[in-house]
Amino acid sequence: MRFFNTAGPIKPEDHYHISPLERVDRDEIFGLIGMKRYFVLHAPRQTGKTSMLFALRDELNATGQYRAVYVNVETAQPAREDVYSAMQANLSQLASEAKLELEDSFVDETWPQILKNSSGYDALREVLQRWSAASPVPLVLMIDEIDAMVGDSLISVLRQLRAGYARAFRALSSERDAVRNSGCVRLPDTLKR
């Protein structure tokens, strides 16, 4: 029996829904991904952001042209200013999702040693860099609930992502360039509460 869901991501087989990818500019999103750019999805609570990310992940993986993984970094929130613990939580979550969704154990096998040998301030970048180099097709990382992180932990994640992105694509030289080279995707106003 299908029903309306207002508590968390939809399960298409269980919930009435509008296809999550029909609610956004799919061509814009796929264009940004194809150009190796990043984007930020903005919308109020409970409007389908996570469901859209799940649908996007599944569609990208189905093409065989990408390996997409969704990771919720909310588990790192209790670490607050403890960057090492936050990275431990984030990398553990990423490893779990990669194994579950991609049947890929690379992150699971490498992150503990990388974190031990480097620091919380560089481990995420190093893991993503090595994983990208080992992947036969481009990786697409979808990070959800990043706003749950605070302080030094949040700043460290953002700086590592930026450093890795700049190194991988040699495209970013300033924050202004980062904004110009990225996309901002918003869910339609009709969906906002």
Residue 26 belongs to a domain: yes
Q: What is the pLDDT of residue 100?
A: 97
Residue 46 belongs to a domain: yes
Which is more confident, 28 or 119?
28
Q: What CATH number should be reported for the domain holding residue 36?
A: 3.40.50
**Contact in structure between 41 and 49 (CB atoms under 8 Å):** yes
**186: containing domain:** 20-191
Residue 10 belongs to a domain: no
Q: What is the pLDDT of residue 184?
A: 53
> Mean pLDDT across the stretch 65-91?
96
Separation between Cα atoms, residue 24 and residue 19, nearest integer Å:
10
Residue 185 belongs to a domain: yes
Residue 4 belongs to a domain: no
Count the domains in the chain.
1
**For 8-42, what is each residue's pLDDT tens digit?**
776 778 777 777 778 788 899 999 999 988 888 88
Residue 13 belongs to a domain: no
Residue 141 belongs to a domain: yes
185 contacts: CB under 8 Å, gap ≥ 6: 24, 25, 28, 29, 39, 40, 41, 42
Nearest residue to 37 (alpha-carbon basis) of 185, 191, 157, 188: 185
Residue 93 belongs to a domain: yes
Least confident of 129-133, 150-154, 156-160, 163-167: 163-167
